[in-house]
A and B are shown apart, each in its own frame.
Chain A
């Protein structure tokens, strides 16, 4: 099975900050990776697919990069509505696996 790790597990940031979250796969997954945002009590929402493609309707301050085993999600200027938990998902091979999540809260 492919294991996904995320760092950091949590971070505190201010509105306007640039935030970067890293996701690492235990083996190469090409670009078969997505990033999801989840707010309390809500379903996850896809932000990025194919490692770097922006989901339609998602603000351009979100961007993704990487291929193989290392991936990053960047929020260029954090907004109040971005405080949430972020997960990566690998769908290169079964069983699909999510990262453990990164909680972004207000400093």
Chain B
């Protein structure tokens, strides 16, 4: 079964750091670009960051640029999001999503269940 499972969320103080992980299974992880998408409580979806299959290309939303770092370990079938200098407005459910655009199958076809990040003092 194709699956993405996020972990690492929790409660953190403003200015703090957190590292999210996304474990992939059931497909050839190294063949796909991957993404992080977030959703603040009661709000819509916001794309956060993308990383290509070999980590050669990385993109960030302006709202997180310079504070968040996306990375991946293809040997471990894992995607990561290092979040530093966290702000209250970063409070959201964070989803990882697979990106099959290289296979001409659109974007964001498989999503994880999400992990909640709360930034509060």
Which residues of A come within 8 Å of B, CB atoms?
32, 34, 36, 38, 43-46, 49-50, 53, 55, 87, 89, 91, 94-101
Q: Is the Cβ of A49 less than 8 Å from the Cβ of B106? A: yes
Of B9-17, B22-30, B42-50, the one touching chain A: B42-50
Q: Is the Cβ of B44 less than 8 Å from the Cβ of A91? A: no
Q: Is the Cβ of A95 less than 8 Å from the Cβ of B47? A: yes
The 8 Å CB contact of A96, one of B95, B107, B109, is: B107
Chain B residue with the shortest CB-CB distance to A31: B106
Size of the chain B interface, CB-CB below 8 angstroms: 22
In Å, the complex CA distance between A49 and B12 comes to 36
Are A94 and B59 also in contact (CB < 8 A) when A43-B111, A100-B44 are?
yes
Complex interface: chain A residues within 8 A of B95 (CB): 43-44
A-B contacts, 14 of them at CB < 8 A, read A32-B106, A53-B106, A55-B109, A87-B44, A87-B45, A89-B45, A94-B50, A95-B61, A96-B47, A96-B50, A98-B44, A98-B46, A100-B44, A101-B45
Query: Smallest Cβ distance from B117 to chain A, in angstroms?
Result: 15
Complex interface: chain B residues within 8 A of A32 (CB): 106-107
In Å, the complex CA distance between A94 and B48 comes to 10
Interface of B is mostly: loop
The 8 Å CB contact of B108, one of A34, A50, A94, A99, is: A34
Contact with A along B31-70 (1 / 0, CB 8 A): 0000100000000111100100000000101100000000
Complex interface: chain A residues within 8 A of B109 (CB): 46, 49, 55
Query: Smallest Cβ distance from A94 to chain B, in angstroms?
Result: 5
Query: Smallest Cβ distance from B10 to chain A, in angstroms?
Result: 18
Are A98 and B45 also in contact (CB < 8 A) when A49-B109, A91-B107 are?
yes
Complex interface: chain B residues within 8 A of A101 (CB): 44-45
In Å, the complex CA distance between A53 and B104 comes to 11
In Å, the complex CA distance between A46 and B35 comes to 15
Chain A residue with the shortest CB-CB distance to B63: A95
Complex interface: chain A residues within 8 A of B106 (CB): 32, 34, 46, 49-50, 53, 91
